[in-house]
Structure formats: structure tokens, C-alpha cells
Structure 1
């Protein structure tokens, strides 16, 4: 069984555009690519939001990755990404049948971002289901993948 997936990228700056207009932008923090599958719900959302809010991958004064997003005054740019559930086993065109129904996924995406904001974090977003252009400068690079199948 598959569960909520979030790709976390530590970034120096990032933005998302739709039709040439910037709709979300951060100076430093995390870019999140967020995908939902059938069965995902509040438990998985709370788990991931908690883990990401407390994730310590920013450098402390000694240069050790030991500080959280809140400690460094960072923000989040959250992007919905159903393609995290691409099935590439057959042929050359991926299938997306494992992605959650868009109506449910959109509600879950909004709830996920609300839980992140409840930690006192600034959360910028793209637009669910839109054709978006995301640009970022990955810092490190540091990329962490959360998959609630590992709960």
C-alpha cells in the first residue's frame, strides 16, 4: 500500500508561477512537493506536517545541520504534485491511477498546509491542479523524502 509522499528540498529562494504571474515565493526555507494516494487522510497529514515542521537540516553556528525552519526564520513553498505517484513499470508513458482523486487530494493538500501554518510557519503555495512553473535554488543540496508507508 502507498501513502502520502512529500519531497522536501532546502532552498535559498524559490517561486512558483502560473501563466507568467508569481503566485507564491519564499526567500529561504523548504520547497515541498506533495502527493496523495487513496487512503491518505488526517493521520498521515499530521504526521508529515509535524516531521517537516521540526526537521533540523539548517546549520547551527558550528556548521552542523541542527536547526529547524522556525529557528532560522524560514518559510515553506508547498506545491501539489500528483506525479509523485507515477507508475512507470509498463511502457514509456507513466500512469497516475495511484494518485488520490483530485477532489479529495485538494482538501488534503489544504489541510496539510493548514497544519504546517499551525506551527507558526509561513506557507506559500501554488494552485492545486494548475500548470505551474517552479524555480528554486536548492541549498546544499539537501533533499529529504517522507513517505508515510514507513510509519
Structure 2
């Protein structure tokens, strides 16, 4: 599982010119799955994300978590995170999980975050989406399990 996490002031995802998910301050996540990922992988990632201390405290140190900030998450499925560009000019997506498997894991991952008390907005799995955000910092991290 791979997640690109961006701390944001606001973010949204649009499908067919309609906003389907929108948040204020929190994290915008691009979420990809590979063969072999499991629900346990999702649980580990959800726990890691909500407790990452990447929000500034009163001393301008990154000491506060998403839970401390009462922030939200915009979660967007992104199989292209597993695009291999080492050969040729077209990415190879053979390492990405098959769509049925990835969709089930994506839904499980979002539920795991919700179960931890985090407000979640999402895109629509498998759809062409336009994603907008105001990256705060900017802070961008790549998490892999």
C-alpha cells in the first residue's frame, strides 16, 4: 500500500463537474494498493496517518496530529502510484492490485479511518476525477507498507 499524504487547508474532488468530496483543514490522501496488500495493511496505514505529528504547535514545531487538530481526510483512490516507469515511455501498472481487490481494500481503509473518528470524504473509485487542494506548508509525505 502506498499513500501520498498532503497536509491541506482545503481540498475537493470533482467527477463530471460535480463536487463529490470536500474537506477543510486536514489531509488529502492519494491511495494505491498492490498485490499482497491486506486489511491488516490498511489498519496499519490508518493508524499511522491519524497519529502522524505534522501540524504545528504553539512553538511552530510539528507536534500535533490530525486527531489533535480535529481535521478531516479526503481519500482518493490512485492506482497510478504503482506505475513502473523504469522501461520505455509508458508506465507499467502490473504491480497495482486488480480493480476488484483494490476497491474492496479502499473501502475497508476508509471505514478504518471513519471508525477512528476521523471525518472522511472520498472520490469515486474507478472514475476520472479532478482533485484540487491548497497544500499547507507545503507538507507532502509518501507512506508505504
TM-score (norm 2): 0.98
**1:134 matches 2:131:** yes
Q: Which residue of 2 aligns with 1:59?
A: 56
Structure 1 spans left out of the alignment, 5+ residues = none
Q: How many residues align?
A: 145
Aligned twin of 2:111: 114
Partner secondary structure for residue 25 of structure 1: strand
Match of 2:85 in 1: 88
Equivalent position SS for 2:91: coil
SS at match of 2:69: coil
Provide the rounded CA distance (Å) in 2 between the counterparts of 1:37 and 1:70: 28
Query: In 2, distance between residues paired with 1:51 and 1:117?
Result: 14
From 99, 103, 115, the counterpart of 1:102: 99
* From 8, 12, 19, the counterpart of 2:9: 12
Cα drift, residue 97 of structure 1: 1.1
Which residue of structure 2 lines up, in the alignment, with residue 50 of structure 1? 47
Cα distance, 1:72 vs. partner? 1.1
Which residue does 1:28 correspond to in 2? 25
Q: Secondary structure at the match of 1:92?
A: coil
Secondary structure of the corresponding residue to residue 67 of structure 2 = coil
Structure 2 regions of 5+ residues with no counterpart?
none
- Give me the CA root mean square deviation: 0.7
